[in-house]
Structure 1
Amino acid sequence: MATNNFKPALIIVDLQEDFCPPNGSLAVTNGRDIIPTVNKLLDLPFVIKIATKDWHPQNHISFASNHVNKKPYVDFTTIINPSNPAETYETRLWPDHCVQGTKGAELIHELDMSKIDKVVEKGQVKEVEMYSAFYDPLEKPRVSDSGLAGVLREKGVTDVYCVGLAFDYCVKCTAVDAAKEGFKTYVVGEGTRAVDPSVWEEIKGELKGKGVEVVNCDGDEVARVGKV
């Protein structure tokens, strides 16, 4: 039963040309197949509907092309907190993708932008990888924060529903951080695809351990939004 204190938000993660076949530089297999689910969700009365975008400078640290003798998908690099060299993490290297102002960085044309309330750009600091739409993994101090948590709180959001690309990277990290910020968080399974489909069940279990449920589009959790 829907109650007045249920205020759901929809976050559509990085549904950009570079992550989608047929021409994306970092195309996720069957990435475009999620469009009907995403558009169906956009028709529901979420209190706010947000699309996120990777918005990288050309010299971004996640691009293998910016490292000598490094290959995309295969190699990794160490991210160092510019303000605290003792804080580091490893990140996978990728083909150049979602470079600011390029066709590949655009949200896909099938997405009904008239129903999107806000676009959040992320990954703009060249020294830091930022999968999550909220902030990067660095904490001492934080380097990049999109302000997304504040936007959700201003709207009184209680529950967050995540879809987009890719399940095993940006969707996962966005959902984990939404739960960390205190929102009841779901990933709608039909509305996402993974870079590596073989890890689906592993990621699903990891999310469950962090308080995030992977649900079906025709399940009770999504149906509840329609009753707001």
Structure 2
Amino acid sequence: MTEVRRALLGVDIQRDFCEQGALAVAGGNTVAVRTRDHLLANRGLYATTIFSMDHHKPPPHTNCGHFALTTEPNYTSSWPVHCVQGTEGARLHPAIEEVEHLIDHVVRKGDGTQSYSAFEGVTEVEGAPSSILSVLRSAGITDLDVCGLATDYCDLATVLDARGLGFEVRVLVDLTAGVAPDTTGEALAKMQQAGAMLVTVKDIDATT
């Protein structure tokens, strides 16, 4: 029987995606605080912890159409300018910054590309660029707990990629928030159809 080795994967819990940010998701601040509290209380559950961050080039770079610079954003495939490299909005939420010492890897994505999944990002390992998949394989990870923003876009893409790569996935639904109720519901259904489990932190507490 394969030993379960679990990682926590926090997706894009950045200032621009939380209330008062450039592309705010309702409930983003709550997700950040709850994720901080979960990590503080349960760091021992995880063999490694990884957080992804949008890391976009500033205008006039178009990030392959990700930013709507000359038209109104459609909030489906084009978005207001957000998480620009070197800005306050691109930083992790202050609650997550409080527990940065508990984060093993930060993965940056969207550097000149339209990226949603954390698996499209790059981190550094011993001074060299590395993919999130390489980090997970090196750590012998079999299972992922996924949380973060936003449920219906970057969370969804990350979960689908993780399942496609063979990882068992739990989505910590009370540590997520979506852009809109209808697309959030559709995203959660797609995650389940792909084989991910939808759980809450209380569900985890009951099994530990």
Mark yes or no: TM-score above 0.5. yes
The answer on 1:73 being equivalent to 2:60 is: no
Specify the alignment match of 2:118 in structure 1.
133
Shift of 1:41: 2.6
Task: Find the aligned partners of 1:208 and 1:108 in 2 and give their Cα distance.
Answer: 28
Shift of residue 223 of structure 1?
A: 4.9
1:55 aligns to 2:55 (yes or no): yes
Task: Find the partner of 1:177 among 149, 158, 161.
Answer: 161
Q: Which position in structure 1 is the counterpart of 2:152? A: 168
| Contact map agreement 1:135 1:146 (CA 8 A) in 2 | no
The answer (yes or no) to whether the contact 1:165–1:192 under 8 Å persists in 2 is yes
Aligned to 1:38: 35
Do structure 1's residue 206 and structure 2's residue 190 form an aligned pair? yes
Change (3 A) 1:21 1:147: same
- SS for the counterpart of 2:57 is coil
What is the CA–CA distance in structure 2 between the aligned matches of 1:98 and 1:131, rounded to whole Å?
Answer: 13
Q: How is 1:1-228 mapped onto 2 (pairs within 5 angstroms)?
A: 5-22=3-20, 24-43=21-40, 44=42, 45=44, 46-58=46-58, 59=61, 60=63, 61-65=65-69, 68=70, 70-73=71-74, 92-111=77-96, 112-124=99-111, 126=112, 128-135=113-120, 147-220=131-204, 223-224=206-207, 226=208
Q: 5+ unaligned residues in a row in structure 2: which ranges?
A: 122-128
Aligned structure 1 segments of 4 or more residues deviating by more than 4 angstroms? none
Counterpart of 2:15, as a letter, is: E
Deviations 1:141-179 (A, max 9, x none): xxxx96101100100001001101000000111111111
Task: Tell me if the contact between 2:17 and 2:149 (Cα under 8 Å) persists in the aligned partners.
Answer: yes
Instruction: Give % identity.
Output: 35
Tell me, in whole angstroms, the C-alpha distance in 2 between the residues paired with 1:56 and 1:21: 19
Larger Rg: 1
Question: Is the Cα–Cα contact under 8 Å of residues 52 and 109 in structure 2 kept in the other structure?
Answer: yes
Per-residue deviation, 1:27: 0.4
Q: Secondary structure at the match of 1:64?
A: coil
CA distance in 2, matches of 1:167, 1:176: 12
Q: Which has the higher helix share?
A: 2
TM-score under structure 1 length normalisation: 0.78
> Which residues of structure 1 form unaligned runs of 5+?
75-90, 137-144
Count of aligned pairs:
192
C-alpha separation in 1, matches of 2:37 and 2:166: 26
State the SS of the aligned residue for 2:106.
Answer: strand
CA distance in 2, matches of 1:162, 1:147: 17
Deviation at 1:4, TM superposition (A): 7.7
Classify the secondary structure of the residue corresponding to 1:192: strand
Cα RMSD over matched residues? 2.0
